[in-house]
Chains A and B, each alone.
Chain A
Amino acid sequence: MKQLRVLVIDDSSIMRKMIARCLKLAGVEIGELIEAGDGREALDAVRKHKLDLILSDINMPEMDGLQFLQGLKDIQAAQGTPVVMITTEGTESRVIEALSAGAKAYIRKPFTSDEVKERIMPLVENLA
């Protein structure tokens, strides 16, 4: 499998590490892991790096995950990069909002590594 450049966005550093660990357990080969603590930092990272996969929280200070998705639309290099939202805000309306804004999948916290695998692998296999 291709070594992926992955951006994980969450205001909790421990959650960023947990998500990266779950990806590895799911069988995702991470070539480079880039972390961001909010949407603004994440947009800077997207401008600097060519990414294969983005995982983002929704509730974050400064710029939240839905605002990040809006900002991402203006970055040509990021078009086509799959974004997966991982959040405690798992209501149907939030899911629809995120998917309408461009997210490819949605994972609700608390999650298991099996759930991460189920949602991420179809997106990752398309990249290989």
Chain B
Amino acid sequence: MSPLDWLVGPGVVLLAAGTIGPLIGLNSGRTLALQALGIGLLGLGGALVLFGAAPIGAGFHDNVSPAFGIDGLSGFFLATLAIVALPALLYAHDYLSGADRAPALLALSGLFLLSLAGFVTARDPSTLLAWWELMTLAPAAAILVRSSGPAARHTVFVYLAVTHLGGAGVWISLLALAHYGALSDPGSLVAQGAAVQALVVIAAIVGFGTKAGLMPLHSWLPRAHPVAPSHISALMSGVMIKVALYGLIRVLFEWAAPAPLWSGLVVLALGLLSALGGVLYALVQHDLKRLLAFCSIENVGIVALGLGASILFTSEGDSTWAAIAFAAALLHVLNHAVFKALLFLAAGSFERAIGSLELDRIGGLLRRMPWTGGAFLVGSMAIAGVPPLNGFASEWLTLQALIHAALDLSPGPAGVGAVASAALVATAALAAFCFVKVAGLVLLGTPRRPEVERAVDSPAAMRFAVAMLAACCVALGAAPGLLIPSLTGLAPQPRELPVEPGLAIPATGSLPSPWLLFGLLALSALLWRLRGSRRAAPVPAWACGQPVSPELRWSSAGFTKPLRLVLEAVLRPQREIAVESEHGLVRSVHYQSEIPHLFDTAIYGPARRGALAGAAIARRLQSGSVRAYAGYLLGLVLILLLLVRTGAIG
């Protein structure tokens, strides 16, 4: 056994013990410690493999015998899982204390972690599919344990229905791959011809894309993420949808490689739709957690842009940029995991402190919850993609990949790259808009209801968890270059890049992120000194002489109104104004506005109605009469005989 096995083996045992712990009466502190230690060891093992240790365990094979192993890509996802899971478990310690059915939730958290780790380390089709299903079911159970009202049940039903319908694609692609022996011997699929490869690729994009939340397959995501307990939401948004991308990466870049050009264009198109669509719908949400869920769709879209660009480069033979685009996608996976977990955990803290997370009725939490609020601000800046935080680093790299597609490739892909790069910049600007709104409404201004007035910061463990993630945002923003060479090494055709904190990529002006961070901090501090704060006169806000009164406070809808008007043709807002007047005097005005989710009204609604109508027709066949069934049997036998007679079968 290699020394790494001694790290990973106990990790699995501890995590499993942490999962069954609560069921045999272990208290929550010990359970969480076991789980954290277990996932920490696994993550450490993964990170060591990523940074150059030899892969451990089995390689992929096509038989039905369970096998596990960790190679570089699995190691990266394990490490990402651990980086999110450790703060999430720490957070859960205080978050779940006093909660109903805490032991069940703890066991489910452990099971969820185990299934996530299981899927990225499984090495044969049966184990992969088993963990895949478990990974879907564990959060569904956690949602139901926490709240079992009709709304939650409906949400879980939609979640399971959509992910299972889409998940059929995962089964088809994995079983087809195993059938042709492509898991153990990549390349044997290509030998089967373009049609088989196309089947596998499309099935994988649909199957894994549904779970990753790529538009238009995302319908479940904005429903399920907000209702789960916050630490589970953090894992779902931070890691689970990325694990689905892990599956997609394995298929597109390993088992079905080299992926054809059209698949790159499809992935790019889905990425564009998800990035722009996700952030646009995030912008018009009024509930914080739902908004964050839409933002996950956006970020999955950005990752897909990197993956699509990598396929374009590969098919045009530019392996350097193929590796860089691939690394950009992986870096964004990690970065998004960190800041999205941070935002979901902080949202959970806010919810615990003040109740409802309706954006228009929060305000002023930075003063009342300085730790959580401060971390939330850092996370907002990171997800908005402004320098010097981590969101900017990976978006910069993805953007560079798209721009170099425009600069270097043949006309078709180059045009696609240019359009995609402009769209990515617009996405980043929209995300900045969105998170200016969110941070402003949640953290700044005056409290908008009494509960907010009385809010106090969360218990120490919850505060520390979000602070840890905020520190990760800064660190990953300052030194993304320490990670990038390992990530380009995971690409199908690895490329050597120098290990240095900044990103020194050929044919770019380079992103020396540590200096950028230092420069911004130093200059801001210098200007702060020059500005001098002792003479500041406390005054009420001026607002051109208008008093800033609570009735005139700006709402989420008001802030985004210009954009809503500009994009009216896309968003199709609906609004109703009812004025009640009596003898010419206006008594009351009711205003209601809603942005319908077009995918629900235009795609899923008709599809659901069609399916129900089809089911109603099919139901007529089931008359319940024995004679009718005997008739069906007779008909079937006759048809079979006829087919045999004509030689079609047999």
Chain A bound to chain B: no
Q: A-side interface residues toward B, CB under 8 Å?
A: none
Binding site for A on B (CB under 8 A): none
